Structures are given as structure tokens and as C-alpha cells.
């Protein structure tokens, strides 16, 4: 299924894309976790790929995406939380992702990396860590499909959202509106049903959620509650 962003599917705040971050899923039953999340109503799946260097953790590999592809036709996002995305992108023979999201502070030449991602037939996402400024990357807005604002320092799920996250989303929404840039604005890390309203009001239209979906035991209600924030 070709990836269609929340922006393409509707207006920036008329639809919310909920992307399930599998970092918080039960690793002994990943296929069933994908099925569970799909039937609960998520729109896409998010795979954190870590290297134990850029972040002090390890997570998914390209083989996980390939293995899980048989369980769903929903889009897959690969979030590269690793130090050398250019090298890794050149070496992966197969990466079954609809979108590749790279972290801004790992890119010596962002435009080159974006080209590399597009050459693989994938959409382009740019990730910002809590210390990265939104204003500094405004010039890339016309070249990307999705801007990911990390609400936590990368590496681990289950952390509390940094207090400057909402403000960063509002700034990104304003800049993208002023530029008429058709990007999806995603938040990743610490998103839950309690803070979603504020994030959506600030302009987020994609919520990437790990613990708040997989470790709550009531995934369907959480999703319904979030969709209810914008859908009457
Ligand atoms: C953090 C990852 C996130 C993480 C979010 O390094 O990029 O995708 O899985 O997990 P929660 O939703 O539990 O904060
Ligand atoms: Zn992530």
C-alpha cells in the first residue's frame, strides 16, 4: 500500500495518524502485536533502529520489517536512531519501509541523505531531538514528507515528555503553514491519551505511541479517545 501521509489523507488537523511504536510491544509475539494494533485501529507501524552508539540501546533490524510485513498492509516507518545513516542506507540490501526517518544531528549533508532515501522508493522523514531547534531546519521543510519531533531523548520508550515539546510543534506548524509546506507533523516519545489533546491543538497530526498503546491493555479505547478529540 503506498504511504499516504495524514496531510494527504485530509487537512493538517482534520485527521490524526496514530503510528504504533513496536519498541514497547511484546517481543515474543511481534506478529500478534501487529495484528492487535491493526485491529485496534492504528494507521501505521514505527520501528526504531538503534546502534548502541548514537543511543545506548539496540532495537529493530531490517529483517524485523521483512518478517512482519506478512502480518499487515499498513505502512511501516523506519526511524534510524543510529550514528551513520548514510552508510547504513547504502548497505541495507532490503528495507521494507514506506518511510525512512533520519535524525538531523546524524546528517553531514541532509539533502544527499534525502535523495538516498527517495532513490529507494521511500518517503522522507526528518527527526529532531529535544535539543534541536525547529527554526534551524526550516529550509528542509520543502524536501521532506514528515517532521518528527522527539518528545524524549532517543533510546528508550516509556519516558516522560520534555516540557518544550508542545512549543516546538507550534513553531513547526507555523513555519510549515507560512511556507505552505505539505508535511506531516509527528511527535514521538511520551505521547499518551492525556497529552494528545495539547499536541493536536499545537498542530501535530501524527502521534507515534509505544508504551501508551502496548502497555495499557486497552489499546482500542486509547485510540478511540484520541480520535474523539477531533472527530465529533
Ligand atoms: C525513542 C523512540 C520512540 C519510542 C516511543 O527513542 O524513538 O519511538 O519507542 O516510546 P514511548 O511512546 O513509550 O515513549
Ligand atoms: Zn521512534
* CATH code, domain with 141: 3.20.20.70
Q: Please confirm, yes or no, whether 105 is among the known catalytic residues.
A: no
State which H helix or E strand residue 100 sits in.
Answer: strand 99-103
Distances from the Cα of 223 to the Cα of 19, 20, 131, 173, 230, angstroms:
10, 11, 29, 23, 12
Active site residue: 48, 51, 98, 145, which one?
48
CB of 155 closer than 6 angstroms to any ligand 1 atom: yes
Ligand 1 atom with the smallest distance to the CA of 189 is 14
- pLDDT single digits (tens) 16-62: 999 999 999 999 999 999 999 999 999 999 999 999 999 999 999 99
Contact 125, 144 (CB under 8 A): yes
- pLDDT single digits (tens) 104-161: 999 999 999 999 999 999 999 999 999 999 999 999 999 999 999 999 999 999 999 9
Q: Please confirm, yes or no, whether 109 is among the known catalytic residues.
A: no
Instruction: Answer yes or no: is 102 within a domain.
Output: yes
C-alpha Rg value of the chain to the nearest Å? 16
Question: In sequence order, what are the residues at sequence separation of 6 or more whose Cβ sits closer than 8 angstroms to the Cβ of residue 194?
Answer: none
Domain count, the chain: 1
Instruction: Answer yes or no: is 1 within a domain.
Output: no
The domain in which residue 168 lies consists of 6-228
- pLDDT single digits (tens) 52-110: 999 999 999 999 999 999 999 999 999 999 999 999 999 988 899 999 999 999 999 99
- pTM to 2 decimal places: 0.94
Ligand 1 atom 5: residue of nearest CA: 189
CB of 188 closer than 6 angstroms to any ligand 1 atom: yes
Contact 59, 50 (CB under 8 A): yes
Amino acid at each position: 500500500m503506498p504511504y499516504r501521509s495524514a496531510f494527504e489523507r485530509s487537512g493538517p488537523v482534520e485527521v490524526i495518524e496514530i503510528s504504533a511504536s513496536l519498541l514497547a510491544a511484546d517481543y515474543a509475539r511481534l506478529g500478534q502485536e501487529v495484528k492487535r494494533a491493526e485491529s485496534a485501529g492504528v494507521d501505521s507501524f514505527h520501528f526504531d533502529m538503534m546502534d548502541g552508539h548514537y543511543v545506548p540501546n539496540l532495537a529493530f533490524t531490517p529483517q524485523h520489517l521483512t518478517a512482519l510485513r506478512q502480518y499487515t498492509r499498513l505502512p511501516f516507518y523506519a526511524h534510524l536512531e543510529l550514528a551513520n545513516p548514510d552508510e547504513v542506507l547504502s548497505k541495507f540490501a532490503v528495507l521494507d519501509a514506506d518511510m525512512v526517518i533520519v535524525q538531523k544531528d546524524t546528517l553531514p549533508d541532509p539533502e544527499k541523505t534525502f535523495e538516498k532515501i527517495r532513490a529507494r522508493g521511500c518517503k522522507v522523514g526528518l527527526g529532531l531531538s529535544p535539543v534541536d531547534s525547529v527554526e534551524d531546519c526550516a529550509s528542509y521543510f520543502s524536501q521532506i514528507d514528515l517532521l518528527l519531533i522527539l518528545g524524549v531523548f532517543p533510546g528508550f520508550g516509556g519516558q516522560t515528555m520534555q516540557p518544550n515539546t508542545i512549543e516546538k510543534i507550534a513553531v513547526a506548524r507555523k513555519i510549515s503553514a507560512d511556507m505552505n509546506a505539505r508535511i506531516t507533523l509527528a511527535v514521538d516519545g511520551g505521547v499518551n491519551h492525556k497529552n494528545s489533546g495539547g499536541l493536536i491543538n499545537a498542530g501535530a497530526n501524527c502521534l507515534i505511541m509505544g508504551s501508551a498503546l502496548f502497555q495499557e491493555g486497552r489499546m482500542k479505547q486509547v485510540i478511540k479517545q484520541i480520535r474523539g478529540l477531533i472527530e465529533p
